[in-house]
Structure 1
């Protein structure tokens, strides 16, 4: 999902990937009936998945000179509406040619083109959290198995660095016959067999 070499990501390609990943996540969001439902992320309810994606991305990318996000309301009041507006604003940012010249400077990720940062950190995060929200609310994740496999291979090559970042939990054991998305979930510290508690 992110860079494979030293060249900057093509903005139109990143915009297309963002649109596709967010379209699937939006489908899951629209299917949520209980925003207080527990999720595979310990201590998180369904609403917290949306809160996480919205807050960290707007905080990071909104700090870039030349980026201005509009108001989107309260996640707690209407998670689906907030997500829809946030997604639209991120897409508009990527479709604007001015984004080609924007640079993110961050203490954790250093200095890099904004488009690369979106491709490397945000789009994969939306992709992976799609499993969390879908699993929490009894929906199909809709994740492409080939992309799951590709992401896992890339992350395994950087495992030591990723673990050191503190952003991922302990890798969980999986059986040989689990799906590629379950393997990806296990790598980032989720219980790949997690299911909502019985009512």
Structure 2
């Protein structure tokens, strides 16, 4: 699957979750300790802007705002800009690779956060679970420590939380969530 197609599929799934949030659920706590359901969506929109080096314009409607953010990222992925080299905390890479490794993966993990916060289906597609598991577990320990350190990549940025113990025989989705700092079992926040 191309990076553009993978992003599109993940953005479709995330947008559906945003569209299914009821008005009375936006202040629900999320698995991300400092964020409500609205905070999760705001973060995802902010990260879209970071990928493009600009701020995404905002309204009072998270769905409208996400649609605009994804439109801009998809437009960049489907243009000559996609292969432009950009500076990243991990070193230079193409814009499309940066989007794929950061915001596209964020759509999957924060989609789970939003689903958990709002009582939606929390199932992550198996191919996304396998891909994210392989990516996360391949990170060298010294870099993983930095990923788990709040603020290491800038003010307010935390890539992963502290690892949550999950049984080795648990489903791979649960092991992935525990590895990146989410409790796949507990419904309390």
Picking from 143, 148, 167, the partner of 1:175 is 167
Q: Contact 1:38/1:136 (CA < 8 Å) preserved in 2?
A: yes
TM-score of the superposed pair, with normalisation by structure 2 = 0.84
1:177 and 1:137 map into 2 onto residues whose CA distance is: 27
Runs of 5+ unmatched residues, structure 2: 150-158
Encode CA deviations 1:84-116: one digit per residue, 9 max, x unaligned: 1111121111112x124422113x222111111
Runs of 5+ unmatched residues, structure 1: 1-11, 64-68
1:81 and 1:134 map into 2 onto residues whose CA distance is: 18
Encode CA deviations 1:44-80: one digit per residue, 9 max, x unaligned: 10011111111133134226xxxxx7x6323xx2111
Greater relative contact order: 1 or 2 (C-alpha under 8 angstroms, separation 6 or more)?
A: 1
Report how many aligned residue pairs link the two structures: 176
Give the match for residue 104 of structure 1. 86
Give the match for residue 14 of structure 1. 3
| Shift in CA distance, 56/154, structure 1 to aligned 2, threshold 3 Å | closer
| Shift in CA distance, 48/154, structure 1 to aligned 2, threshold 3 Å | same
> 1:150 offset after TM fit, Å?
2.9
CA RMSD of aligned residues (A): 2.0
Matched, 1:136 2:117: yes
Encode CA deviations 1:120-154: one digit per residue, 9 max, x unaligned: 11111111111100011000134212320232133
Deviating beyond 6 angstroms after TM superposition, the runs of 4 or more aligned structure 1 residues are none
2:78 and 2:35 map into 1 onto residues whose CA distance is: 32
**Is the radius of gyration larger for structure 1 or structure 2?**
1
Picking from 58, 70, 82, the partner of 2:65 is 82
Picking from 124, 127, 131, the partner of 1:150 is 131
Q: Contact 1:137/1:196 (CA < 8 Å) preserved in 2?
A: no
| Shift in CA distance, 60/88, structure 1 to aligned 2, threshold 3 Å | closer
Matched, 1:38 2:21: no
